[in-house]
């Protein structure tokens, strides 16, 4: 995770769950993450093709120049990116994985902006993890933000974190040790960014509906 907003939201969520796969939706206290609210959102699982914004922060809506509440997050993607995001959201809601995505957003004037998105499962008693706590934040602030809406988005990179994993930045924060490159961990990478060789795919481990290839950034 590159941005302080996504790091702090993950830390808050991780402390709430306290070793469980996911915290309950009712445990989220907006006052505890007041400074992050403008970039955060909560999604409701309706079906595999519909993850509806129940809440969306003001900075996130400004970035898109529209109110996002009640919109489907799966709108505005290419066919392959739509399928990738749908698969990630299924991993979050069905397998309690956390997901970090690198995104590019594009306006009708062909302006682009790099963003980071975090997706975290929230548990609803009797429903399972049917809510997703997330954040989406721009890695830069070009002059046109808020004037020209983002009309399409593409997935540049993806990382899944399983319930018993800990991201490198959190380990460094907790131990006081300097940040260093993480050892190889299960990574799911967008096809656009990296296409694994057939042998790697055959050696991959099946976890629910995903194929996980051990690797990582060397």
CATH number at residue 116: 3.30.450.20
Question: Looking at the domain assignment, is residue 118 inside a domain?
Answer: yes
**pLDDT score, position 125:** 93
Question: Looking at the domain assignment, is residue 215 inside a domain?
Answer: no
Could you count the other beta carbons within 10 Å of the beta carbon of residue 206?
8
Question: Looking at the domain assignment, is residue 121 inside a domain?
Answer: yes
How confident is residue 21, by pLDDT bands cut at 50, 70 and 90?
A: very high
**pLDDT score, position 148:** 84
Residues 160-217: tens digit of each pLDDT = 998 887 777 766 555 443 333 333 333 444 434 344 555 555 555 554 445 556 554 4
Query: Which two tokens mark 159?
Result: 């990382």
Question: Looking at the domain assignment, is residue 166 inside a domain?
Answer: yes
Question: Looking at the domain assignment, is residue 76 inside a domain?
Answer: yes
Structural domain boundaries enclosing 51: 4-181
Which residue in 5, 46, 58 sits closest to 130, CA to CA? 46
Residues 118-133: tens digit of each pLDDT = 999 999 999 999 999 9
Please state whether beta strands 128-138 and 185-187 pair in parallel, antiparallel, or not at all (unpaired): unpaired
Q: At what angle do helices 168-175 and 4-17 cross, to 10 degrees?
A: 70
Question: Looking at the domain assignment, is residue 187 inside a domain?
Answer: no
Question: Looking at the domain assignment, is residue 196 inside a domain?
Answer: no
Residues 25-40: tens digit of each pLDDT = 999 999 999 999 999 9
Residue 140 DSSP one-character state: S
Residues 47-60: tens digit of each pLDDT = 989 999 999 999 99
Count of structural domains, the chain? 1
Question: Looking at the domain assignment, is residue 210 inside a domain?
Answer: no
């Amino acid at each position: 995770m590159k941005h302080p907003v996504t790091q702090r939201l993950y830390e808050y969520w991780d402390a709430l769950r306290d070793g469980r796969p996911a915290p309950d939706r009712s445990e989220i206290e907006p006052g505890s993450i007041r400074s992050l609210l403008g970039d955060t959102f909560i999604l409701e699982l309706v079906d595999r093709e519909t993850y509806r914004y129940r809440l969306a922060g003001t900075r996130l809506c400004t970035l898109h120049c529209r109110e996002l509440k009640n919109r489907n997050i799966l709108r505005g993607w290419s066919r392959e990116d739509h399928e990738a995001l749908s698969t990630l959201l299924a991993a979050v809601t069905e397998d309690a994985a956390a997901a970090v995505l690198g995104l590019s957003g594009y306006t009708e004037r062909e302006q682009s902006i790099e963003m980071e998105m975090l997706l975290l499962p929230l548990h609803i008693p009797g429903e399972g993890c049917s809510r997703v706590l997330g954040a989406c934040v721009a890695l830069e602030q070009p002059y046109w933000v808020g004037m020209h809406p983002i009309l399409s988005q593409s997935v540049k990179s993806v990382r899944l974190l399983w319930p018993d994993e800990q991201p490198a930045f959190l380990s460094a924060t907790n131990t006081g040790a300097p940040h260093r490159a993480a050892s190889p961990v299960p990574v799911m990478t967008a096809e656009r960014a990296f296409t694994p060789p057939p042998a790697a795919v055959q050696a991959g481990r099946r976890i629910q509906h995903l194929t996980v290839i051990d690797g990582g950034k060397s």
